[in-house]
Structure 1
Amino acid sequence: LADIAIWADKVRRNRKHENRWHYTNVKEGEWTYVISRDCPKRNCVIEKIKEFSSVLTNVELPLKRRKVALKYLVHFVGDVHQPLHLGNLKDRGGGKIRLTYLGKNVTLHYLWDGGMIDWKKGSLLKYAAHLNAQVQDLEKSKWLHFKVNDWADESRSLALKYAYPLENNELSKTYISKGREILDQRMVQAGIRLADLLNQLLKTEN
């Protein structure tokens, strides 16, 4: 699954209409996702997760199409857990907010897309071990009670509470530390929920 996690990002370079599938921009000041307001054409990340879930479970469809649906699901479940993929419509999920980080001019969206993760922990495997060590079984069980709209509302809340509040568009050590903590947890939640989703979708074939 790790090998196909970035597939959806690669193919959208030549499929511009798919760009909007990766996020859901919400009207500024709104705290929850409302389909009629935020995704009336059902072409946002939340509705695409639902759509490709249906494709994956439809055994009447060609296997090739269902495999493609799986690739999208792996990526989109991760996307919906990134707070600024439920960012403000006005600033395109932080894409229009520019900051200086480690001497580089970057966007706020870039930071929350992983730009501020502390990769000094070593290899990806070591980083994964670091994430797993932080999770308690009780937390895992609690997280599985939520569905895709809830995941989106969690991200929206984190965006408004933590991602957007910046003093003079400057990044403090506290902001970066809290941001890393949030991203660590969201990645763990995404992985656990993806595994559970796939187990639920494919259990009828076992």
Structure 2
Amino acid sequence: MPIRSLMLFVVALMAWTSPAAAYWEYGHETVARIALDHVRPDTRAKIFGLLRQGRLLETPDCPVATIEQTSVWADCIKPLGDRFAYAYSWHYQNVDICKPFDLKSACKDGNCVSAQVERQARLLSDVKVPQRERLMALAFLVHFMGDLAQPMHAGDRGDKGGNEVKANYGLVSGRTNLHSIWDGYLAERAISTPPSGANGLVANLTTEDRARIAAGTVTDWSRESWEASRSQAYTSLLGDPCGEKSVARPTLTEADVQSLIPEVRREILAGGLRLARLLDDALGPEAKAPGQRR
């Protein structure tokens, strides 16, 4: 087989195999690992204590024995149908990128990712809540902070967070779209770029850097992710993020990918450090959580 044909075959094969190990797992796992590595020792001990109660969730095919497994539990349970159907809309918030930032209209009745980040943190912080519910809150919180760090879960232009924007990732095409590129291929590329993995993303950060990145509110983080969807995701692919919708299939080029890698790494890093702060607050002696009423 000619070299070029072989390369095209490998790339096409990656289009079918990469997503299983991409953001849906790799991104969430990296956010979770960063968080676990940066919480206080007492917080870490409480997390492990909850994870040891995994049998309470009664989802044997979706275990939570490790923080990595916990980070993808909320996706793993989706095939269970009616049992967890209520949580489907909790993974995203379709805030229009072509209008002023308006989180309220996208979060009606609390059915959006930012509202659920706050709600799950409150449930986790409440020691009066049964262990099963606190463990579930931990699993949801870890996953949803990963979702919030992914811009295509925060911004939208009437296309289901980019799911309806057909696009190519270099030579990879077919079922790819703007959302799947950011959820999978681009996130995997960014995390695996040296220095790679959770340790690589936090390399050379000072204590002051980590505190600065973790600062802010869930609303602040939502606005930041929404802005990234407009200025990075849509703009890099379409040019004008609010222009006429293209009937063609645009391509995210290698040059585009190279320019986006630092931004994607920063977003995943921020998701992990912010999750660590929420976990320290919720499981700390003051049992703090966003929006908590005293």
Deviation at 1:50, TM superposition (A): 1.1
2:73 equivalent to 1:7: yes
Please, what TM-score do these two structures have when normalized by structure 2? 0.64
Deviation at 1:183, TM superposition (A): 1.6
Stretches of structure 2 that go unaligned for 5 or more consecutive residues are 1-66, 239-245, 288-294
2:242 equivalent to 1:176: no
User: In 2, Cα distance between the equivalents of 1:199 and 1:137?
Assistant: 16
Contact map agreement 1:22 1:45 (CA 8 A) in 2: yes
Deviation at 1:17, TM superposition (A): 3.4
Tell me the secondary structure at the aligned position of residue 108 of structure 2. coil
Residue aligning to 2:23? none
Residue aligning to 2:179? 109
Supply the AA of the counterpart residue of 2:262: E
User: In 1, Cα distance between the equivalents of 2:192 and 2:162?
Assistant: 27
Distance 1:120 1:34, change over 3 A: closer
User: In 2, Cα distance between the equivalents of 1:120 and 1:152?
Assistant: 21
Contact map agreement 1:87 1:156 (CA 8 A) in 2: yes
Please, what TM-score do these two structures have when normalized by structure 1? 0.89
User: In 1, Cα distance between the equivalents of 2:223 and 2:177?
Assistant: 22
Residue correspondence of structure 1 range 14-163 to structure 2 within 5 A? 14=81, 15-35=84-104, 37-101=105-169, 102-105=171-174, 106-116=176-186, 117-118=188-189, 121=192, 126-133=196-203, 135-163=205-233
Supply the AA of the counterpart residue of 1:67: L
Deviations 1:80-139 (A, max 9, x none): 11111112150110010011223332011011113223279489x952222122534332
User: In 1, Cα distance between the equivalents of 2:182 and 2:196?
Assistant: 21
Distance 1:174 1:137, change over 3 A: farther
Deviation at 1:170, TM superposition (A): 2.3
Select 1:198's aligned residue among 266, 279, 291.
Answer: 279
Supply the AA of the counterpart residue of 2:229: A
Tell me the secondary structure at the aligned position of residue 156 of structure 2. coil
Select 1:186's aligned residue among 267, 278, 285.
Answer: 267
User: In 2, Cα distance between the equivalents of 1:203 and 1:103?
Assistant: 46
Distance 1:147 1:136, change over 3 A: same
Contact map agreement 1:31 1:157 (CA 8 A) in 2: no
Distance 1:155 1:126, change over 3 A: closer
Q: How many pairs align? A: 204
User: In 1, Cα distance between the equivalents of 2:191 and 2:121?
Assistant: 36
Supply the AA of the counterpart residue of 1:181: P
Contact map agreement 2:191 2:201 (CA 8 A) in 1: no
Distance 1:119 1:44, change over 3 A: closer
Q: Percent identity?
A: 28
Supply the AA of the counterpart residue of 2:68: A
Deviations 1:166-197 (A, max 9, x none): 24722122321232222211111111111111
User: In 1, Cα distance between the equivalents of 2:208 and 2:197?
Assistant: 22
Contact map agreement 2:150 2:182 (CA 8 A) in 1: yes
Greater alpha carbon shift after TM alignment, 75-84 vs 25-34: 25-34
Contact map agreement 1:8 1:71 (CA 8 A) in 2: yes
